[in-house]
Structure formats: structure tokens, C-alpha cells
Chain A
Amino acid sequence: MYDITIIGAGIIGCAIARELAKYNLKICLIEKNEDVGAEATKANSGIVHGGYAEKPGSIKAKFSSKGNSMYQQLNAELNFGFVQTGSFVIGFDEKDATKINELFAYGQKNGVPNLQIVDGNFVRDKEPNLNKDINIALYCPTAGITSPYEFAIALAENAIQNGVELKLNSKVTAIQKSHDHFIVTTNQESLTTKIVINTAGLYADEIAKMVGAVEFTIKPRQGQYLVFDKDQGDLINSVIFQVPTAISKGILVTKTYHGNLLIGPDATPAPAKDYLDTASQNISEIIEAAKKSFPDFDLQKVITAFAGNRAAATTEDFIIEESKIKGFINVAGIESPGLTAAPAIATYVSEIVAATKQVKLSPKINFNPYRKAYHAIANMQEQELNNLIKQDVKYGCVVCRCETVSEGEICDALHRNIPINSLDAIKRRTRAGMGRCQSGFCTPKIMEIIHNELQIPKEKITKKGGKSLFVFGRTK
């Protein structure tokens, strides 16, 4: 019997798993996909928000600035990538100024440190390539950028290091309450657990429904984005928002953690939870809107477009509570700023777990908070790199030329404690295939490496699990 079963290994599930791994508990983390962080976690802005945009008193407000303050320490332990770049909400006219003042007041109430209202010159000084007509801005020095999927991967790897069991490709099909415990059935097995934590993101309502803990519905909200090559990312230093609308934080323009330019998202109701198509109409509108912040990006440098669906709950706020079913905890409706709030939510969930009295939270003496970083040769100094290549020649063999990723990094990804074998999973860990050629050159090479390292026939290698196969068999 498990003490805790967490359903859904997105950023929230992974953060909770890693937090609870600090205690002597038998924990299982269940994920239906072939990798962690493979849904909303991999397709968002990657912004660690300041915490000024949420209405004071809301659950979102309670966790976002607190979550932000935890990133520095977590990154030092887990090496997933975080930089405090600061953010601007830019304004052009009186109406914008009113909204910016309102956000400033929100920020004060939410305890966001060092917020400032600044003039156009201040903005231009920090961001010389933005629209010259910017008059006013809200400057939030604590905001930053992260790599959200790498954060989830790092959390999960560290959770596993500390005893959590991760079950991939496991889709929960039923949950039964049986007096003091639950029976969770997946497409792979049946397991028993004292506590269930529902972090199923877009599907949290369906999971809750299985046990009769439905108190909300998830209405997926889609956001589309456009990613540009790094020479465009070099033109921006921080996160640039326009004043928010009723449903979104406003079209943003940002450098990503790895240096690309990212613009988006829009916010439209998604026709289905797994509908992730991009559309030219949406992308055109995003381009037009983004030009208002940053007029001169080069559309010839577009690398790709993507869409992500946010798990917005009908309650319009985060739901983090033990449901009416004793021992069944819902952590749902975690839309933006869920990534920012994740670390704070995880700590709070451990308090909820303790409060259930179903399990005892005694600290694990040998908890290891550190997760090994990848040896990313693209960012290495000569001496360090040469020492590494002396130990393992594979670090001298460049596989992905656009992002300078070596065979050593890819092998590292394949042999860590999360068993992966898809190209997208490798891409999220190493960036191989993330660059301007979009894996045109490295796909055959990476297939070869997977085949050699894991003895998987090439006919079974996938882009992202399931039937996303690359090849159908041998030539004649």
C-alpha cells in the first residue's frame, strides 16, 4: 500500500512528489504520457511571475509571489535553469496607466518586493529595442524566466532519487474508495493508497469524478506561441507584458531561458483538452499584437509555433484542498501563474497531507536535495569541456549542430532515472532538435543513438510515445 499516490506528473505533480519525498512516505507518481511534463508544462510562457497580476485575497495571489521567492534556492539544488530577468508591464496611454497603477496596488497587497512604476526612459534604457512610444511601465525586478519542462524533469528525477516511484504510460481508469484507503486502477495495474493527490491538470475533473469528488469542471483555454531563433532573443533582456485583459496577462514578448525569442500567448477556449493545433489566424494576431511591444522582430527567423492548453477551472481560481472524499486531495485549476506558484503549492499540499492524519510526515534523514545538471557543452568553458571529453569522448561528438548538443548529453538523458526513449523527451532534456533546422539533421543520428543505447529497433522509436513512429520498416 502506498501512503500517497499522485495522479499526473506535470509541474504540480512533480513539485508535490519532490516535496513529499522529504518525508518517510511510500509515494507513487502516475503519468499517462511517456514522459513527465509533457502537456501544459511543456507548452507555456516559461515565466516566473512577480505575483502582482493576481487579485489580492485569491488563492493564486497567495501562492505566486511566495512561489517566485523559492525559485532561486530550488534552481541551486536542481539545476533546471532560472534567471531573474525582471519584467515590465508597458503602457502607452492614460488607460494603460490606470491599469498599471492598479497592478502596482495589487502587487503591494500581494507582497511583491521592489515593484516600481517607471517612465518610458527607464524602459528604453533597459530595453532599447522596444516601442519608442512607451510612456509608463510597471517594473518587477523579481520576475524571471525558467525552462518549465526541465523544471518538471528535475523535480521528478530528484523525487525518484529520494524514493518516489514514477509510473509512466499509466492512465488511471478507475478510483475506488474502500473505507481507509483507495484502489487506483490504471491501464497497467491496480494499486492501493492511503491518500490520492489529483494533479491531473486538464483531466483533473475527470479524475475527481471517478471517486465522486467533483466540485469543479476544467474548461481548457488555449494559448498559441511563436518561437524565434536566438539572434532575435538577443534583442530583448526581460519579460515584456502589455496591460492584461480579462482572460490573459496580455501578449508577452520574452527571451526564453535558452535565449530564443518567444511571443504569445492568445487565450481562446480550446475545442478539446487534447486539441493543440495552431492556426494561422491566431498566430497572425499574435504577431500584430507583439509588434506593439517590440516592432522589429524578423519573421524570417521563426523556428516554430506551438499551442498549450491551460487547465482553467470553472471556479476561476486554484483549487487546493482535501475534497469531500476524505484523503482525496484536489490540486486543480492550476492555470497561470501555476508554474510560478508550483513550489509554494507543493509546500502547502504537504500541510494538507499532514492535516489528513492518514499518514505521518517524519522527515527523511538522508533526503538528498541535489539533482545533477546536464553537461551542456554549448555553455562550457574550454578547460572544463576538455576535461569532460577526456573522461568521455562522446562529449566531443556534436549531434545537434544548431544547439551544439553532444552524444554525451543524449546518452546521459537516456540513462537517467526516468526511462525515456522518444525524441521529444530527449529534446526537452538536451535541446537536441530544438534549433533552427528543427531536427532535420539530427533525427537520424538520435535514432541511431537510441537504437544503440537501448536496443530498441528503429521501427519502434517515436517522436512522443504512442504511435508517433518515425519509420515503418526497412527499404526494399
Chain B
Amino acid sequence: MKSYDIIVIGGGPAGMAAALAAHKNQVKNILIIERDQELGGILNQCIHNGFGVHHFKKELTGPEYSDLVALELQKTNIEVMTDSMVLKLGDDKTVHVINGKLGLIKIKAKAIILAMGCRERTRGAIRIHGARPAGVYTAGTVQRLINIDGYMPGKKVVILGSGDIGLIMARRMTLEGAKVEAVLEILPYSNGLTRNIVQCLNDFSIPLMLSHTITKIHGKERVEGVSITKVDANLCPIKITEQFIPCDTVLLSVGLIPENEISRAYGIIIDRKTSGPVVGELRQTSKEGIFSCGNVLHVHDLVDFVSEEGDLAGFGAAQYIHNNLSPDFTHTTIPGEGISIVVPQKINAQNVTDKVKLFMRAKKVYTNCIINAYIGDKLVAHKKENKFLPAEMVYLTIKKEDLFNNANAEIVIKIEPVK
């Protein structure tokens, strides 16, 4: 059986960064397995700009960002296996992978980095009822059809969900000559980045209808329209506000779900809130030698943070290979008042170099508030912003000495009003 020090599953930005980081940290034998025909993952279809502002200090398109990282990879001896699908993880860290050239083979790894990304939430998952015609798409599928395949999947479009991909696709479809009738958002605020609302909707006079949802899809063969309503404070449709919008396409941008089927099957503990593995400061999962990073761990809003997390997981896996990773955990992070998720969920203070970054999201929109992190009674980190939005990931930095100076094992993060 062929074997590697590290096998990275997924060759998107997270997997590429992780492989590079492991390589920089003296791991010799690394393999990236990618299901598509080339590296880059979803970046390849994101032809708009806005990527890399933090990581590369310049504004790039998705393919440009991906190419820059792939170029670095080419300078190394990291092996890449494309057009290959990992079916499962077997006992003792064997990766079962299939492709047309080699068939189904097993490859052994000392460490595995999970970087499989996420999938889009579907119509069925959010239970939009009505008929089942063609023309109901998730935003990513439309993005692929237009940007990679060069086909127009619709002319008159209603978009549900104001997540970033939905906003980007509102602009993209408009530029391609489609009429985007409206973008509906069930929440009273958008789930996309502010810059995307301005550049993708406002600049093209596309209406954003907050507190609205689709209650019914019409059309026998192809979509013929949607019934939409306002929703109340409990997100329940208000029947009397129902109106019909004729359209031939419904585009859904209603959330992303980390694709952890392989992780679950291997028995890795999953956080119900993030839908990704519970991880430590170096993105180690509950199974020894298995790491996780990028959108398979938790859904990010910027690829820059994905790369950063890949770096961390690659570094962690390298430490594991070199027997420098301290097992077990000293601290647990707890999402308190106003916080929906925190990553990492666990920390081993021994493995922290000088500080640890905690990534989190607000449950709803908070203005004039501060995010505080406490160990016991002691405030160990805080961040003040004019506004905290669920759409924008926030991070706090905790110093290593604060972890050591506090015996309490729980780090509680809360949003509190500014006093």
C-alpha cells in the first residue's frame, strides 16, 4: 500500500494552504486528493474580484487567487491526484480513493487533513413547497453553468437568500442580460457582506426585500413564477401580504453546509452549531492525526481566512508528524450570549505559540456592543465594532500567558452592551 506522511482531502484554498504549510514545516511526503480536474475548488468558478485583500494584499479574482497558490505548490514536491474521489477513511488512517486510472485504491497516511469544503442548502432542505419544475437552482450551480460552461440558466430571476453567492449571482446574471426581479431575505437583515450589497444590488437597482420569503413555486415544466410573502417576527409568512412574481428561474442562496459525511462515518465528533468537526487550536479533530480546515470545518465569508486556517491545520499536522503536538485539551471555548459559533472549540495551551485566534459569529445584528472573552471572571480579550453582523466573522486574540495564568478551563465569549 502506498503511504504518505500527510494526505490532504480537497484541493481548494484550504487544502492547498494546508499542504503548503505542512511542506514549509519539513513534512516530506504530502499528497493532495482533488475530485475535480484541477486544483482550486469553488474559486475556479468565482470569476468576480474581491479575493485576497488580506492574504495577498491585493484584489484578485477567484481563479487568480487559486493560481497564485497553485503556483507555489508547483515549486514543491507535493503530489496532486486530481479527478479522484475519496469514498471513505478506513481503519488506521487509510484513505479509500477512486479514479478512472487507478480504480479503487487505499493509501495510508500518518496524518490526514480534511478540506472537502461545503455544499449549498437546497430547496428541499428549507422546504419551499409548490410544484417541482426545472429552473430552481442553487446559486453555485448557476455560477458554474454561466462561468465555466457558458450557458444561461434563466432570463427572469427571483433570488431567495441574500448570502454572498446570491448577491454575486444577482449581478452576474444581470450583466449577462437576465432580469433579476428581486432578492428576498427572510431575515430582517442581509446575510451578505456589505460591499456585496452595494456593488451587486444597489449599483444595479435590484430590490432587496428583507423579511420576505417564497411560499410557493409555480410551473409544471419550467418555473413560471413564485408566490412571496412578508414574514412576521417569528419568520412565519403573513398570508395577506402574498403576491405573485412571474419568473422563469428561482435561485437559492440560503446557506452552506460543511460536507462532513466522510468525517462522520469515521467517527469524528461534529459540532451541531458549525456542522463541522470539533477542533483544537491547530485544527486537530477528536480523532488523533486528523485535522480539518476551511469550509468543511465552518463556513467562512472570506477565502483569506480559509487560507489562514489551512496554514494552521498544515502546521498542526506537521507538528503531529514530528511528534511535537501535545494531545488532549486544556480549555474549552463556549459561545455565550449573542454568539452562535466559536472555532476552535478546544484549546491545548501547550500547543499555542504565543497567542490563539478565536473565530466567531454574532447570532443577530448588534449595534454599539462589545464582544468579550472571559476565563472565569477575567476578561482576556475583547473587540468593539459599530456593528456585529452574523454575515461577518469576527476574531479575538488570546495571549498564551492568559491561558496559563487562569486555571479555569472554560473560555466564555459574549456580546455585551458598551458601558
Contact = CB atoms under 8 A, between A and B. Distances in A.
A468 interface: yes
B177 interface: yes
B101 A443 contact: no
Contacts of A302: 124-125, 127
A63 B75 CA distance: 71
Interface string A348-392: 000000000000000000000000000001000010011001100
B127 A401 contact: no
A389 B103 contact: yes
Given A398-B35, A440-B140, A306 B132 contact: yes
Contacts of A389: 98, 100, 103-104
A302 B123 CA distance: 10
A397 B122 contact: no
A277 B130 CA distance: 4
B103 A441 contact: no
A390 B222 CA distance: 40
Interface in A97-148: none
B101 A474 contact: no
Contact of A398 (B85, B127, B176, B221): B85
B35, B132, B146, B152 — which one has the most chain A CB atoms within 10 A of its CB?
A: B132
A245 interface: no
Given A440-B140, A462-B134, A474-B151, A467 B119 contact: no
B129 A305 contact: yes
Nearest to B216: A277
B119 A397 contact: no
Contacts of B144: 444
A313 B86 CA distance: 50
Nearest to B237: A280
A464 B134 contact: yes
Given A471-B151, A472-B152, A438 B124 contact: yes
B67 interface: no
B129 A396 contact: no
What's the interface size class on B, roughly? 35 or more
Nearest to B154: A472
A70 interface: no
Interface string B81-122: 001010100000000001111111000000000000001101
Contacts of B145: 443-444, 470-471
Q: Could you tell me the dominant secondary structure of chain A's interface residues?
A: mixed
A303 interface: yes
B146 A475 contact: yes
B134 A469 contact: yes
A464 B221 contact: yes
Contacts of A306: 132
Contact of A470 (B124, B134, B215): B134
A146 B111 CA distance: 42
Contacts of B120: 437, 440
A444 B148 contact: yes
B407 interface: no
A463 interface: yes
B130 A401 contact: no
B336 interface: no
Contacts of A404: 85, 87
B361 to A, nearest CB: 18
Contacts of B155: 472
A468 B223 CA distance: 8
Contacts of B135: 470
B216 A305 contact: no
A227 B152 CA distance: 30
B131 interface: yes
B153 A471 contact: yes
Contacts of B35: 398, 401
A378 to B, nearest CB: 9
Interface string A195-210: 0000000000000000
A233 B127 CA distance: 19
A440 B122 contact: yes
Interface in A448-476: 448, 458-459, 462-476
A19 to B, nearest CB: 32
Contact of B83 (A279, A395, A397, A475): A397
A401 B85 contact: yes
B221 A467 contact: yes
Contacts of A347: none
B150 interface: yes
B132 A276 contact: yes
A279 B151 contact: no
B284 interface: no
Contacts of B130: 277-279
B133 interface: yes
Contacts of B264: 231
Interface in A298-349: 300, 302-306
Nearest to A466: B221
B138 interface: yes
Contacts of A458: 149, 151
B104 A382 contact: yes
A475 B176 contact: yes
A398 to B, nearest CB: 4
Nearest to A275: B131
A396 B141 contact: no
Contacts of B146: 475
B24 interface: no
Given A389-B100, A476-B177, A469 B222 contact: yes
Contacts of B122: 303-304, 436-438, 440
Given A444-B144, A444-B145, A396 B103 contact: yes
B176 A476 contact: yes
A440 B256 CA distance: 12
A379 to B, nearest CB: 12
Contacts of B154: 472
15 contacts: A276-B132, A277-B130, A277-B131, A304-B124, A385-B104, A397-B99, A437-B122, A444-B144, A463-B134, A466-B221, A468-B221, A470-B145, A473-B151, A474-B152, A475-B146
Given A396-B99, A462-B221, 5 more contacts: A394-B100, A396-B98, A466-B220, A471-B152, A472-B153
Interface of B: 35, 83, 85, 87, 98-104, 119-120, 122-125, 127, 129-135, 137-138, 140-141, 144-146, 148-155, 176-177, 215-216, 220-222, 248, 264
> Which 5 A/B pairs are nearest by Cβ-Cβ distance?
A304-B124, A393-B100, A463-B134, A396-B100, A468-B134
Interface of A: 227, 231, 274, 276-280, 283, 300, 302-306, 377, 382, 385-386, 389-390, 393-398, 401, 404, 436-438, 440-441, 443-444, 447-448, 458-459, 462-476
